[in-house]
Amino acid sequence: MTDLPIFPLTDEHKMLRDAARDFAQKEIAPIAAEFDESGEFPQATIKKMGELGFMGIEIPEQYGGAGMDALAYVLALEEICKVDASHGVIMSVNNSLYCHGILKFGSEDQKKKFLTPIASGKAIGAYTLTEPQSGSDAGTMRSRAVRDGDFYVLNGRKSWVTSGPVADYFVVFTMTDPDKKQKGVSAFLVEGKTPGLTRGKKEPKLGIRASATSELIFEDCRVPAENLLGTEGEGFKIAMTVLDAGRIGIATQALGIAEAAYEAARQYAGQREAFGQPIGQFQGTGFKLADMKTRIEASRLLIYNAALAKEMSKGTEGRYSLEASMAKLFASETAMFVTHQAVQIHGGMGYSRELPVERYFRDAKITEIYEGTSEIQRLVISRLELGMK
């Protein structure tokens, strides 16, 4: 990776990046294909990532985290995603979709109870917004929470929950006042073993197969009122604020996938011969590599810029939605472009499960879909640019 002069890295950044790179190469690379094939959740390596401080990078040490900044987070995540996007999304969701919201909106007691075990990697956290009939139009959710004394009673279904089958704790977004639409959504911190909460079947997926995804079913699930995150009706704002952080994580996942695919294609183009010369010497292949590399570096700049915008927003009410959405949009479409070209450069071998290139291609697609589709990112960017939000 390049240390671009406008993003001078501190010694701490470099140490964390190198530790993540070393771990990914030594511990994840040997098992990535096997776990992709089996679809098994990589419990042992995720536990080790927790021990190394990768599961709560921006969370202060007093709550079990590594106490580093937003750039440190993307640098470490990029290294993990270069080797395996499944480990990457588990790390991303834990750090940003789960921890970030509790750090920003949680009470002191909530931080101690719901942040510390997750940020220190002893337990896994997940985020539940989507429902069977509401994905992009997240404000139209049908699940309900009704106050009953010192509890809220939750009913409904949540879908496409990353780490759903294995998570110990969830941030759950649900309607407390349906008449108010988005302003009637509230957020709750729910322990995975709460009676009335069950996990649906694990989704069989095209890519990121080692990350576990499922529905959650709430049937008269009684959650203590003290587990309300923020205030009643503040849930949609919390969900959107947290997604801005999450989108930087998914952009980084896309960057890592694209870098891995590019490096494989670059090496193959230098070795594989056709018509008497390495295929990289044909302009048709060389130009492909040039476009791949340029888009990757542009993605990296957008992502690091978004991370710096996130860092600057800390402790303020400032948003970095524009930077996060542009980074996710560009990096995810770059990952699709680059993995597509990488398969093409590899020819038949790109289509074979003997090489990881087809896995990169399958893994890339989800980055254009989850945590806001490319269409939703364009909506967010255009509304902000037109002064509509």
Tell me the catalytic residues: 371
Residue 321 binds ligand CAA, judged by CB under 6 A: yes
Task: Please report whether residue 323 would count as binding ligand CAA according to CB under 6 A.
Answer: no
Nearer to ligand CAA, 124 or 292 (CB): 124
Coil, strand, or helix at residue 340?
helix
Q: Does the protein bind ligand CAA through residue 240 (CB under 6 A)?
A: yes
Contact 134, 96 (CB under 8 A): no
Which of 48, 202, 319, 365 binds ligand CAA (CB under 6 A)? It is 319
Contact between 243 and ligand CAA per CB under 6 A: yes
Of 85, 129, 190, 343, the residue at the interface with ligand CAA (CB under 6 A) is 129
Identify the residue among 55, 93, 228, 269 touching ligand CAA (CB under 6 A): 93
Beta strands in the chain (DSSP E): 125-128, 144-148, 151-162, 169-175, 185-191, 197-202, 213-224, 228-229, 273-274, 277-278
Q: Per CB under 6 A, which region of 32-40, 53-61, 147-155, 372-380 contacts ligand CAA?
A: 372-380
Ordered DSSP codes for 56-108: STTS-GGGTS----HHHHHHHHHHHHHH-HHHHHHHHIIIIIIIIHHHHH--H
Backbone φ and ψ for 59, nearest 5 degrees, come out as: -85, 130
Among 3-11, 145-153, 297-305, 366-374, the segment contacting ligand CAA (CB under 6 A)? 366-374
- Residues in contact with 262: Cβ distance below 8 Å, sequence separation at least 6, in sequence order: 289, 292, 293, 296, 338, 342
Which span (101-109, 191-199, 334-342, 375-383) binds ligand CAA, by CB under 6 A?
A: 375-383
Residue number with CB closer to ligand CAA (52 or 240): 240
Q: Judged by CB under 6 A, which of 114, 160, 169, 268 binds ligand CAA?
A: 160
User: 3-class DSSP state for residue 238?
Assistant: helix
Given candidates 55, 138, 221, 289, which one binds ligand CAA under the rule CB under 6 A? 138
- 357 or 380: CB nearest ligand CAA: 380
Judged by CB under 6 A, the stretch of 106-114, 123-131, 284-292, 304-312 that binds ligand CAA is: 123-131
Q: Which is nearer to ligand CAA, 344 or 374 (CB)?
A: 374
Which residues, in sequence order, are CB contacts of 96 under 8 Å at separation 6+? 73, 242, 245, 246, 248, 249
Which of 340-375 are b and which e, b meaning 16 or more Cβ less than 10 Å from the residue's Cβ?
A: bbbbbbbeeebeeeebbbbbbbbbbbbbbbbbbbbe
Stretch that binds ligand CAA, among 23-31, 185-193, 233-241, 299-307 (CB under 6 A): 233-241
List 130, 253, 313, 341, residue binding ligand CAA (CB under 6 A) = 130
Interaction between residue 136 and ligand CAA (CB under 6 A): yes
Q: How far is the CB of 131 from ligand CAA (least distance, A)?
A: 10
| Interface of this chain with ligand CAA, residues 163 to 202, rule: CB under 6 A | 182
CB-CB contact of 80 with 48 (8 Å): no
Which pair of structure tokens corresponds to residue 53?
A: 């401080």
Report the DSSP beta bridge partners of residue 35. none
Judged by CB, which is closer to ligand CAA: 161, or 190?
A: 161
The DSSP H or E segment spanning 246 is: helix 235-271
Tell me the DSSP string of 5-24.
TTSPPPHHHHHHHHHHHHHI
Cα separation, 317 vs 303, whole angstroms: 21
Axis crossing angle, helix 357-365 with helix 321-346, rounded to the nearest 10: 150
Nearer to ligand CAA, 43 or 136 (CB): 136
CA dist 299 and 56 (Å) reads 24
Q: Which two tokens stand for residue 121?
A: 């990697």
Q: Nearest approach, Cβ of 85 to ligand CAA (angstroms)?
A: 12
How many residues bind ligand CAA, per CB under 6 A? Answer: 26
Using the minimum distance from each CB to ligand CAA, give the nearer residue, 139 or 196. Answer: 139
Using CB under 6 A, list all residues that contact ligand CAA.
Answer: 93, 127, 129-130, 136, 138-139, 160-162, 182, 236-237, 240-241, 243-244, 319, 321, 370-372, 376, 379-380, 389
